[in-house]
A and B are shown apart, each in its own frame.
Chain A
């Protein structure tokens, strides 16, 4: 919705003299904060927790990992498993494998601070199919990936999609819940717009892989509210996303199920 309005406004301005230019702003520096991304999935492969820190705005976009943290995860209040630091700031454990219905508790102790989070893997909602359709996006003819599933009768199902085109992850964020679609046969389009710095439109011969993550509502709220930290000032009040991590860190801890499908673009 907001995107359409923004485009319409710029369109009107564009009729006259809209212009964009880079400006310099004197932004404050802030005390650094830890940024934690934690993931437990029902797939083979390790549970992964990465720890980085915030930087000042004018610094470069290289975010080094933070070493020396003690990272543990417990499964359904079971014993804590300590994750090993594999590269700087990246902590892994192959012992922890997610099971739908189980709750996972994350604990990170770093730089004298302790952060905790709990996340539950939801029951799997079957990823029925993935197909490509032709759509007109903002006046341009485009190919768009469509995800299909049957939403269960109970409310509260939430999903996060990651789209790869020819093995490269696209940058758009796709998260949805079933507030308006509860119990339906749902088709979700993974629409990619030029204004998010996406590179090339999808063309015949491309391969699209979509990872569908069944997430819990707390993690959905994180992805949903992450939009307001994306740097656009016409969103009423930019703010930090609502995290499920306790203790004052940024980021999220997501225990989720994963299903993957691939399709060749006709």
Chain B
């Protein structure tokens, strides 16, 4: 592979050398008053075009001549420029925010249009500005919940920010915040995500056909970008909501060049708990906070430094019996350098940490349990625009993982031994190359590959385990010794063919490999879900996804129709053995696991209305997700928990007047596949339930309507404020959170089914300001 890369570059250079009569237009696209670079802005020149990179740079080569160039980006107003091209030219463009002009009521404006010509498919890009129009849960805008309204992306449960993408499990999403992986993106068991929308600029979700620069998870990439601070003026913005308050401060460090941003949010659910007269409630604590900070520093014309920091933490205390703290820290230092107007480089140093700590106090037993996953990560990427029609990306990435599965410390009088489960070390190294090739005006191809080498390192004991899960052999390795290296080549291919100016077809294939696996035995996102790295027994998970899509603009671009279908094949999927004990205090977690395969396929449709006072979309997903694991369900295929046959989302926004905006969203989905009992019996004079098949039943169908209204209170150049009202589950549908089987309270001779519903008619109000 290493020898191939220079050869590949050489060949492309030769290709490039044959087309020297062209000239290059390049420049930076920035957003509004901020000099913040806009990623994925579209530059359109006749039938050809380009897309800006993450710093907002673009580069396009054209024969000499006169052109009209159109610049557009998600959430921003498009601008056109007339040029007469004679030599290499630099054009920097500042696009204005869409919602500045209130009369032009276009929330998902033309500028937001998906690209018919780009070979990338299965991608959704959203800016926080757009997402802020959609009704929210408990006054908290949440990017991970908003994307659940898109086809192919499913919520992990009522009010939950966890995601299942195209049949994948919740741990198969690579969630990045400014390049740093976030290992547990939820607060309070998933009711909120770790992303404070004040600090977030935009996000892109890749459901399929992931570009080669992403790797490490099977199902999706959720690439979240933090806001840059304003490098011209100081601003303070904030909000007071039902359960939290937020404050955001930003301003210049060097006027016009460098900036900072600090954003914080803290909830005060515990204040509500204290109001309760019930001692079983008011002695508890529940809260979380998030802090985001970003500095962008201009080192000159060609160099820029970006520093991002995130820290967030939850605390839950059930009196003093049980206190758990958990949280993420992520930090990225990125240096971007322009070698020329066609060659850009990004180098990042990244740190990610997730840990939790549980203190349990039961009589004399005080025990502390700590667990952590920590990464040091270095990434280098070159982006090279080659004449005439190639855009090349070449990168390397090395991540060192340290997993501390569990460390128990206990006092002398306690019943527990101090126990340290073996720390696990690994290197996850990758190199990738991809080329975006405009073969013709109609045909685009993006092809590439990612090579991943996952090396498991000592020191530690590794095991051989028989089919019953018993250890038959222990292998000891010393510090730094390589236990095993898994080498995987992940081909990535995407092609688009434009049928006419209104429609195109695309197809893609991607292989993804995952070497970190989340071991979870609960349907609720719990902080104690455990990340483990691949071992000699736990093999890398592998997914191959094929997808095909049809895209059409209707009524002169008023409506967009998207149809995509996919088939995904998954290897080395993991599940628990029956009776598994994950907190067994042993180093051989493999003894509790079973391995098998999975498959997922589906059809996704979306019709989006882009313009007019009413905007929004309707999406529908038809899908199937199954697993086959020897040792489960008599070795037969069974529906995965997240298998939901039908899923519908309807989202509408209505701008009544410049001051008032209404919004509503309705979702419906087939209930999850679950295991319900098919009988009962008695043991120890108590009734227990008899199960015949895994996930053979369905939860009742889920549906819910949320409504929201936003009123602009004041809008001047210096100061603006707004009031947001929303009602979650507006018609009070009793969607089950759990279904339990138990003996009736009033009749020990009868067994009943009880359903618990968490959220009905949850109103919220939030006040937001900015000056």
Contact = CB atoms under 8 A, between A and B. Distances in A.
A251 B757 CA distance: 33
Contact of A233 (B281, B738, B743): B738
A80 interface: no
B93 interface: no
A200 to B, nearest CB: 14
B191 A12 contact: yes
A211 interface: no
A234 B523 contact: yes
A186 B415 CA distance: 4
Interface residues of B, number: 98
A240 B578 contact: yes
A1 B369 CA distance: 12
A17 B521 CA distance: 27
A185 to B, nearest CB: 7
A76 interface: no
A137 B322 CA distance: 10
A187 B415 contact: yes
B713 interface: no
Interface string B695-714: 11100100000000000000
Of A7, A22, A197, A231, which is in contact with the most chain B CB atoms at under 10 Å from its CB?
A231
A229 B692 CA distance: 12
Given A30-B679, A55-B679, A23 B415 contact: no
A229 B682 CA distance: 11
A117 B102 CA distance: 77
Interface stretch (B193-201, B656-664, B746-754): B746-754
A230 B686 CA distance: 9
Interface string B152-196: 000000000000000000000000000000000000110100000
Contacts of B408: 180
Interface string A22-53: 11110111101101010000000000000011
B682 A52 contact: yes
A250 interface: yes
B362 A191 contact: yes
A235 interface: yes
A57 B762 contact: no
A138 B321 CA distance: 8
Contact of B754 (A22, A180, A188): A22
A184 interface: yes
B678 A57 contact: yes
Given A60-B750, A181-B416, A16 B318 contact: no
Interface in A221-266: 221, 224-226, 228-242, 250-252
Contacts of B691: 229, 238-240
B419 interface: yes
Nearest to A19: B757
Nearest to A141: B279
Nearest to B320: A136
Contacts of A186: 415
B279 A139 contact: yes
B584 A61 contact: no
Nearest to A59: B680
Interface in B236-265: none
A146 B679 CA distance: 36
A171 to B, nearest CB: 6
Contacts of A188: 415
Given A20-B754, A133-B363, A139 B683 contact: no
Nearest to A160: B684
B579 interface: yes
A112 to B, nearest CB: 20
Interface stretch (B444-452, B560-568, B669-677): B669-677
B286 interface: yes
Nearest to A183: B417
A195 to B, nearest CB: 10
Contacts of A231: 677, 688-689, 740-742
B677 A27 contact: yes
Given A35-B682, A55-B679, A233 B739 contact: yes
Contacts of A37: 683-684
Interface string A1-23: 11011111111111111111111
A241 to B, nearest CB: 7
Contact of B683 (A15, A27, A251): A251
Contacts of A14: 281
Contact of B318 (A7, A12, A22, A241): A7
Of A7, A25, A30, A55, which is in contact with the most chain B CB atoms at under 10 Å from its CB?
A25
Of B318, B745, B757, which is in contact with the most chain A CB atoms at under 10 Å from its CB?
B318
Contact of B757 (A1, A18, A230, A250): A18
Contacts of A238: 675-677, 689, 691
Contacts of A197: 742-743, 745
Given A11-B281, A12-B191, A189-B363, A237 B681 contact: no
Of A18, A57, A183, A197, which is in contact with the most chain B CB atoms at under 10 Å from its CB?
A57
A57 B751 contact: yes
A226 B679 contact: no
Contact of A28 (B362, B678, B759): B678
A239 B675 contact: yes
Contacts of A57: 677-680, 689, 741, 751
Interface string A46-75: 000000111111111111000000000000
B318 to A, nearest CB: 5
Contacts of A33: 679, 681, 690
Given A23-B754, A25-B753, A238-B691, A184 B583 contact: no
Contacts of A59: 680
Given A1-B583, A139-B283, A180-B416, A54 B737 contact: no
A173 interface: yes
Interface in A175-231: 179-189, 191, 197, 221, 224-226, 228-231
A190 B88 CA distance: 80
A140 interface: yes
B419 A16 contact: no
Contact of A12 (B188, B362, B736): B188
B415 A184 contact: yes
Interface in B24-65: none
B750 A241 contact: no
A27 B688 contact: no
B752 to A, nearest CB: 5
A137 B321 contact: yes
Contact of B269 (A15, A52, A56): A15
Given A4-B322, A35-B683, A189-B365, A9 B189 contact: yes
A140 B687 contact: no
A37 B741 CA distance: 22
A185 B365 CA distance: 11
11 contacts: A4-B322, A16-B762, A18-B737, A57-B751, A61-B751, A173-B684, A173-B686, A179-B581, A184-B416, A187-B363, A233-B739
Nearest first, the 3 A-B pairs at minimum CB distance are: A225-B579, A139-B280, A13-B758
Given A22-B755, A28-B692, A236-B521, 8 more contacts: A2-B522, A9-B524, A16-B759, A20-B754, A57-B689, A139-B283, A229-B689, A241-B578
Interface of A: 1-2, 4-25, 27-30, 32-33, 35, 37, 52-63, 133, 135-140, 144, 146, 169, 171, 173, 179-189, 191, 197, 221, 224-226, 228-242, 250-252
